[in-house]
Amino acid sequence: MAEDSDAVNHETAATETGRKATITFDDVTKTVLTADGPKSLLKNITLTFEEGGIYGVIGLGGAGKSTLLKLIDGNLTPTSGTVTVLGDNVAGLSDAARARLRSRISRVGVFPDFDEERTILESVAIAAGEAENAVEPDEAARAKALRLLREVSLRSQKDAHPSQLSGGELQRAAVARAFASSPRILLFDEVTAAQDHIEGREILRLIKQFAKESGATVVLATHEIATVKEICDHIVVLDRGFVVEEGPTYAVIADPQTDQTRVFLEAVSSLGKVDTLLAGHDPVVDLRPGQKLIALRYVHEDVSEPLVSLITRKFGIDVNIMLADVQIVGKYPIGGIVGVFEGPERNIRDAVAFLRSKKVRVEILAEN
């Protein structure tokens, strides 16, 4: 992926997973003409999105996230390069073929459009009926719509019209409508932005469940790293129209390679406190002879054993933990530990070698 660009590309190339690519961007650039001349919204984007994957596109305001989503559902066409969706080059489609493609894609935007004349239940049922090629929503479509509205906590408002709902409620209705249409591709643009914390998490849970059950590909644009961390298995970091970094969520969060990514990760703190600890001549780092202050960083997915207790037993050393910030992303620990290691020099050296063999990144911060 992204072979021609400078984007940092964490391992696990799409082709190695054996899953089908549902969306590919091949050197895509989107330029628009403005009063000040041409403006590039996206530049040289090469990306693959696979079937069943949940992708988080993160970037600051204006980075190009919404533009990327609009290129996927054919709302925009590239200025150069090719966007292929479900096997079709989006730019080359007839109107009929484009309509067919669009019926297999749902995009939930920041301001969902609903027919004011209809109740929420009717609108969701119509989407469910269309997915079954029914002219009018039948009983099954209405039942599906009701179930989905219940899932997004809107059952009691099923007979409300769009203007009677809050912004967050309308967005949840749009999520229900998107699921109802049984899409192969689901695009979400800041879908949790208008939700309170609890509803937001619930929506993310539903998206994950839907993706798992249906095998649909999900692309979620957001500037909240927490959202990505919660459900996305892949991250694409956009900055001013460029992909600056992409890869499996775990790899990107555990070991970000660009400053732009680190900006987002500040919320998912890591070992930034270590520097403070060292710089401030804190008494905790006044080491006695034979002690070493060592930082361990978990940056690989396969670190799952309780390594600290293991090394104290195996190598007969003491580890006094000064600082620990470990959280679970996916199924794996991420973050790190700073501890004072004490014991025979040789044993500490062996313990460090052992940790490195377990793919823990080890840094000796200070020693006495």
Query: Under the rule (CB under 6 A), what is the footprint of ligand ATP?
Result: 32, 34, 39, 41, 59, 61-67, 223
Spatial separation of the C-alpha atoms in residues 237 and 244, rounded to whole Å:
6
User: Between 229 and 297, whose beta carbon lies closer to ligand ATP?
Assistant: 229
User: Between 223 and 300, whose beta carbon lies closer to ligand ATP?
Assistant: 223
As measured in angstroms, the least distance from the Cβ of 74 to Mg ion is 17
As measured in angstroms, the least distance from the Cβ of 67 to ligand ATP is 3
80-85 and 234-239 strand pairing: unpaired
What residue spans of the chain are helical by DSSP H? Answer: 14-17, 65-72, 95-102, 120-131, 139-151, 167-180, 197-214, 225-231, 249-254, 259-265, 273-279, 307-315, 345-357
Figure out which of the listed residues 5, 66, 171, 195 binds Mg ion, where binding follows CB under 5 A: 66
Query: What strands lie across the sheet with 332-342, from one edge to the other?
Result: 318-329, 332-342, 291-298, 360-367
Contacts of 58 (CB under 8 A, 6+ apart): 65, 221, 222, 223, 224, 225, 228, 235, 236, 237, 238, 264
Spatial separation of the C-alpha atoms in residues 104 and 97, rounded to whole Å:
11
The DSSP output letter for 90 is G
Which of Mg ion, ligand ATP, none does residue 162 bind (CB under 5 to 8 Å by kind)? none
Which of ligand ATP, Mg ion, none does residue 290 bind (CB under 5 to 8 Å by kind)? none
User: Between 264 and 315, whose beta carbon lies closer to ligand ATP?
Assistant: 264
Spatial separation of the C-alpha atoms in residues 153 and 144, rounded to whole Å:
14
As measured in angstroms, the least distance from the Cβ of 67 to Mg ion is 8
As measured in angstroms, the least distance from the Cβ of 168 to ligand ATP is 17
Which of ligand ATP, Mg ion, none does residue 62 bind (CB under 5 to 8 Å by kind)? ligand ATP
As measured in angstroms, the least distance from the Cβ of 306 to ligand ATP is 41
User: Between 65 and 229, whose beta carbon lies closer to Mg ion?
Assistant: 65
As measured in angstroms, the least distance from the Cβ of 206 to ligand ATP is 22
As measured in angstroms, the least distance from the Cβ of 188 to Mg ion is 11
Structure tokens at 222: 């957001």
Asked whether the CA dihedral 288, 290, 291, 292 is positive or negative, the reply is positive
Using CB under 5 A as the criterion, what x/- string covers residues 241-270 for binding Mg ion?
------------------------------
Compute how many residues bind Mg ion; rule: CB under 5 A: 2
User: Between 35 and 135, whose beta carbon lies closer to ligand ATP?
Assistant: 35
As measured in angstroms, the least distance from the Cβ of 76 to Mg ion is 13
54-58 and 234-239 strand pairing: parallel
In whole angstroms, how far apart are CA 116 and each of 123, 171, 172, 181, 359? 10, 15, 16, 19, 57
Which of Mg ion, ligand ATP, none does residue 234 bind (CB under 5 to 8 Å by kind)? none
Which of ligand ATP, Mg ion, none does residue 61 bind (CB under 5 to 8 Å by kind)? ligand ATP
Which of Mg ion, ligand ATP, none does residue 67 bind (CB under 5 to 8 Å by kind)? ligand ATP
Name the strand (E) or helix (H) holding 187. strand 185-189
User: Between 107 and 234, whose beta carbon lies closer to Mg ion?
Assistant: 107
Structure tokens at 107: 């995009």
As measured in angstroms, the least distance from the Cβ of 32 to ligand ATP is 4
User: Between 67 and 181, whose beta carbon lies closer to Mg ion?
Assistant: 67
Spatial separation of the C-alpha atoms in residues 110 and 255, rounded to whole Å:
31
Q: At what angle do helices 120-131 and 139-151 cross, to 10 degrees?
A: 120
Using CB under 5 A as the criterion, what x/- string covers residues 23-62 for binding Mg ion?
----------------------------------------
Contact residues toward Mg ion (CB under 5 A) are: 65-66
